[in-house]
A = this chain, B = another copy of it.
Amino acid sequence: MDNPFLVEVTRGNLVESRHRGSIAVIDADGSTVLSLGDVERRVFPRSAVKALQAMPLVETGIADKYGLTDEEIALACASHSGEPEHAAVAEAMLAKAGKEVACLECGVHWPMGEAANRALAAQGQQPSALHNNCSGKHAGFICLACGMAEDPKGYVTAGHPVQRAVRASLEDLTGASHTDEVGGIDGCSIPTYAIPLPALAFGFAKFGTGVGMSREGQIAAQRIRRAVARHPFMVAGTGRFDTKLMEILGERAFVKVGAEGVYCAAFPELGYGVALKADDGGVRAAEAMMAGLVLHYLPLSDNERATVEALAQPVLKNWNGIEVGRIRTAPDFLQ
């Protein structure tokens, strides 16, 4: 099955590049709201499920045991830009579990945020694992291990109690099996499991509404959604799509990007969960689709609409600031 063209990139009067993709929107009762393209093809959700991966930390009461703040819980769900505030919050999380940066097993990379990247270089510094965009999630994993009285060493491996708990949470929420045959290793070294988009969307419908979850799960999901809504900077960073969208929509839209063009979302007031992927892994296409879905489904004020439209159809400017084209959803996207 050929996935439809869902996003176009224009230059002058022509379409220069085109992205295909697939989208699933599922209600909290599991019924299909939207199915576009081959949604049964398994997709690695990558970082788009970080909020679901943070569920055991909160649900077990371990987040409370260590007194994790909303900022820290938001960072546990983040693919952050490595700005100084992100690194500081990750370090504080580790300290609460009595651990240090050396315990992080996510690997080291320069900050994803360009300004943060150059600022670090300008200070003559090198990045640490705290600057890895996944450091908050990993600090959360280390808290989870310590709270379970497990040695955090090796917490990224599939057999460690941390990943077993995370996998159980993902299987429970999505209803999809997470077996080795559909497994891969993520950028930060933890396992990632490919599942169909409707299962992923269903997981986010439950995460957004609490429907079908235990009482502890409901409280944990609400706590995580609220934490991110209160600190959208923590989940991404300066100028980033997720931060901008949640700054304006708060708890009305939980959205999270994943590598290779994946996006997940929950729209709690509608009871909808969303999962989508750009076939080619293009993040710009995934962002345009997600903003398009927000425009389509959520009632918005004029001010909110203007912000989301700018995210859905970003103007492309060149190095002299001249408008050269734009990114926009294609005619086959939600006609």
Q: Tell me the residues in window 130-188 of chain A with beta carbons closer than 8 Å to chain B beta carbons.
A: 132, 181-188
Interface size class of A (residues with CB under 8 A): 35 or more
CB within 8 Å for A280 and B325 given contacts A132-B319, A189-B320, A319-B109: no
Q: Mark A265-293, 1 if CB is under 8 A from B, else 0.
A: 00000000000001111100100000000
Is A44 a contact partner of B11 (Cβ separation < 8 A)?
yes
A121 at the interface (CB under 8 A from B): yes
A18 at the interface (CB under 8 A from B): yes
**Contacting residue for A14 out of B2, B42, B117, B188, CB 8 A:** B42
Q: Mark A294-317, 1 if CB is under 8 A from B, else 0.
A: 000000000000000000000000
A92 at the interface (CB under 8 A from B): no
**Contacting residue for A280 out of B17, B44, B109, B320, CB 8 A:** B17
Is A107 a contact partner of B12 (Cβ separation < 8 A)?
no
Q: Tell me the residues in window 30-52 of chain A with beta carbons closer than 8 Å to chain B beta carbons.
A: 42-44
Q: Tell me the residues in window 176-206 of chain A with beta carbons closer than 8 Å to chain B beta carbons.
A: 181-189, 192, 194
Q: How far is the CB of A113 from chain B (nearest CB, A)?
A: 13
Is A192 a contact partner of B11 (Cβ separation < 8 A)?
yes
Is B18 a contact partner of A280 (Cβ separation < 8 A)?
yes
Is A282 a contact partner of B282 (Cβ separation < 8 A)?
yes
CB within 8 Å for A324 and B184 given contacts A106-B319, A189-B318, A282-B282: yes
CB within 8 Å for A188 and B318 given contacts A13-B181, A280-B17, A280-B19: yes
Q: How far is the CB of A289 from chain B (nearest CB, A)?
A: 13
Report 22 cross-chain contacts, Cβ distance below 8 Å, ordered by A residue: A2-B2, A13-B184, A14-B44, A14-B182, A16-B43, A16-B260, A16-B281, A18-B280, A19-B280, A20-B279, A106-B319, A107-B319, A107-B321, A108-B319, A110-B114, A184-B324, A184-B325, A185-B318, A188-B319, A189-B319, A280-B282, A281-B282
Q: Which 9 A-B pairs have the closest CB atoms?
A: A107-B319, A12-B184, A17-B281, A118-B121, A11-B184, A280-B280, A107-B320, A121-B121, A121-B122
